[in-house]
Structure 1
Amino acid sequence: MSDPGHANVLDQVALTFSDWRPLRHVEDPLQKDLSAVARAGDCLFLACDETASVERLRRLEDGTFGDHRHYVLDEFVSLPGGAEGEMDIEGLCAEGGFLWIVGSHSLKRCKPKRDESDAGDALKNMEDIEREPNRYFLGRIPLVEEAPGLFMPARQDGERNAAWVKFGKKRSSLARWLAGDPHLGPFLNIPSKENGFDVEGLAVQGDRVWLGLRGPVLRGHAVILDLDIKEKVPGRLKARHVDGERRYRKHLLDTRGLGIRDMRLDGDDLLLLVGPTMSLEGPAFVLRWRDALHDSSSGVIDPGRIETVAELPYQLHADHPEGIDLWPEGGAGALLVIYDAPAPERTDPDTFTVRADVIRPPGRSDHGIVSRIVAASGLQV
């Protein structure tokens, strides 16, 4: 796999939100907790992993994005945890007139309380594992073009309906399909960030949906699920059988222990944002899985088909890359990158503004992903 080195930051795009403080159950400003991004015309749709909503920004005359609209998803779909239940949205994709949305489908272990004076009580608190029912969402919402390039979500637009895969308060259809999987089944009851099951990437073309897993990582291989999903009845999506008795294809890619953080189709290729699986600091890369659209069966992908596009700028305790999308304004190969825990220098708390990066991959060299990851982590081999 080739390794062209660090990405070139061509530009920054200012994203300005409304005052977040009136929102219920939001502990941090929206611009500090961004987890997913999708471009549709002159609009950016973004998600904050604390809410059950999507945020729309539109391009303004000066090239920045603002005029923030907050859409509570319970108005468009039936959420088992209601509008106040956290969805932990980790993937967005605008495709075919729909906004596709996926939650993490993950469990969450309680943290020890910072003010806990008794070590035993803190340890006891960490026994609790929470299951948020809204996290198990996978579905799509119609996008209606209000004006040229300006889109808004709707529950229904003519014959197009909001539709989602069946899920409930304890188990989703996806979890049921994976329960007997020899690779993934054992990880369904392990919390996220402990190498448990955790969906963080989403890419869509027509009825074909790819889900990238932050975890589990299996012997250094990240996992991508590949489903053919159709609306069998109005409002209900279901994956058809595509791999024997299974309703999904399963692709394993050698990422040297990094998990999928986001994905985006680029022609026949799939661009992968990869980063640490566990709760730790580490480098992030954009990889290219060449001819991903042509893989019609499960298997381990030939490492020669995985190229390192770029290593992203890395800071300790800040600027964690969470989402990517194609950015044609930046020229061939340019990508928009959004960050969780943005560094102070890219935010303006008074105006609720954060700046995303527009990057362009540098020229290729003949080094592989192994050397880059080892060098960035300081490991000895």
Structure 2
Amino acid sequence: MSQVRAQVLHPVDRSYTVGAGLAGEITKKQTKPAEDISGIACAPAGAGPRTCMVVDDEAAGAQFVTLDGTTLNPGAVIDIAGRKPPAAALGSPPATGDCTLGQGAYREMDGEAVAYEAPDFYVTGSHGCSRRGREFKLSTALLARLRPDAAGTGARVETTYRLGDALRTADTVGPYFLKDLEPREGGKPLSGLNVEGLAVVGDTLYAGLRAPVLDGRAFLVSVPVAALFAPGDGPLGAKPTTIPLALGSDAGIRDLTALPDGRLLVLSGPTRNGLAVPYTLFLAELPSGKVTPLGTLAPLDGDEARGKPEGIVRLGPGRVLVVFDSVLDGGPREYAVAIP
């Protein structure tokens, strides 16, 4: 593994541009620039531009984007969380849990990942305590399914709380649900669970966890899509499956994307802020969880040195697009990745 890990991946195409209008946090007074892009997913390539969706973790929803060659053109913004809990959300809201400061304000969705499985996009909140405030915000406990309309200017939105049920009852990782993500000053890390990757393969949804990481293993939690979005306010009617991925010490899942053959491309990175853990691409087989390292992304430099890889999408055979947090408009870059 170490020999493959040593392969450093540099961008092969930096010419990608983003049109005007990619939105970050939207307040009553302004729409802030998108500087916290945390996920991207696209419908399969066809004859024309690809329909994609991105999420900014400071926003209340997600945004359509059209990928046309090397240009990303922002489209409609879809509000998911709203200003108060959606009355039609399926399942029941989780309890506050063990977040140190208890219940926080209902605000941003803290959207962390996007997935696509025809004909729907899926967007998830982090489902964890807030990293800095150590609060539980109900707005982050939503999973949404969005079906684009024919014009591509809107979507039918369904929301559910049942991904929280799956995380809370999952083997191995369930005890870390709604625990603090970062240690208090002088305290021990609690490795609180939070979601940063999402993929849907057929009728199964896979949530990729940034934390906890136990004995060098990060985790996927899989659950049937139908159970997540079953009518009514009852609890999840299915048993989730926990799949360990041997990504290395302190390396959690930062994003997922499904490949055409049903395997997953996994982006790993530090499970907590401040850890010197590289961002690495892995190939994961399902349901075994066997992983093959594909290479490590070289850090950005110059004015974009703070950028953190947060989203991946397959462009074609051996080609991957990566978007970054802490870079204006996500700083999209293309990488060549040999996928066996």
TM-score, normalised via structure 1 length = 0.70
Which amino acid is the alignment partner of residue 241 of structure 2?
Answer: R
Tell me which residue corresponds to 1:138.
143
Q: Map of 1:1-381 to 2, 5 A cutoff?
A: 1=1, 3=4, 5-12=7-14, 13-18=16-21, 23-24=26-27, 29-40=32-43, 42-59=50-67, 63-74=70-81, 78=87, 85-110=107-132, 129-146=134-151, 151-155=152-156, 162-165=157-160, 167=161, 173-179=162-168, 183-193=172-182, 194=189, 195-230=191-226, 233-234=230-231, 240-241=237-238, 247-257=239-249, 258-266=251-259, 267-280=261-274, 281-290=276-285, 292=286, 294-295=287-288, 301=289, 305-315=290-300, 318-328=306-316, 332-342=317-327, 347=328, 353=329, 355-361=331-337
Shift of 1:337: 0.3
Does the CA-based 8 Å contact 2:25-2:60 persist in structure 1? no
Q: Tell me by how many angstroms 1:35 deviates.
A: 0.6
Q: Is residue 6–residue 361 contact of structure 1 (8 Å, CA) maintained in 2?
A: no
Contact persistence 2:59–2:108 (CA under 8 A): yes
Deviation of 1:220 (Å): 1.2
The worse-fitting range, judged by mean Cα deviation, of 232-241 and 219-228 is: 232-241
Q: CA RMSD in A?
A: 3.3
**Structure 1, residues 325-360: CA drift from partner, whole Å, max 9, x if none?**
1112xxx22111000012xxxx5xxxxx55301111
Contact 2:50–2:66 under 8 Å retained in 1: yes
Asked if structure 2 preserves the Cα contact closer than 8 Å seen for 1:225 and 1:249, the reply is: yes
Identity of aligned residues (%): 23
Q: Which has the higher helix share?
A: 1
Deviations 1:308-332 (A, max 9, x none): 112111148512000101112xxx2
Take 1:179 and 1:22, find their aligned partners in 2: how far apart are those partners?
29
Q: Write out per-residue CA displacement over residues 140-159 of structure 1, whole angstroms, 9 at most, x where no aligned residue.
A: 1112232xxxx34422xxxx
Unaligned runs of 5+ in 1: 112-128, 156-161, 168-172, 242-246, 296-300, 348-352, 365-381
**Number of aligned positions between the proteins:** 302
Alpha-carbon distance between aligned partners in 2 of 1:163 and 1:235, rounded to the nearest angstrom: 12
Higher radius of gyration, 1 or 2:
1
SS in 2 for 1:282: coil
Contact 1:326 1:336 in 2 (8 A): yes
**C-alpha contact 1:101 1:139 (8 A) present in aligned 2:** yes
* SS at structure 1 position matched to 2:149: strand
Shift of 1:163: 2.9
In structure 2, C-alpha distance between the alignment counterparts of 1:224 and 1:212, rounded to whole Å: 5
Partner-residue secondary structure (3-state), 1:145: coil
Tell me if the contact between 1:51 and 1:88 (Cα under 8 Å) persists in the aligned partners. yes
TM-score (norm 2): 0.77
Q: Distance in 1 between matches of 2:29 and 2:232?
A: 29
Deviation at 1:27, TM superposition (A): 9.6
Q: Assess if the C-alpha contact under 8 Å between 2:106 and 2:137 holds in 1.
A: no
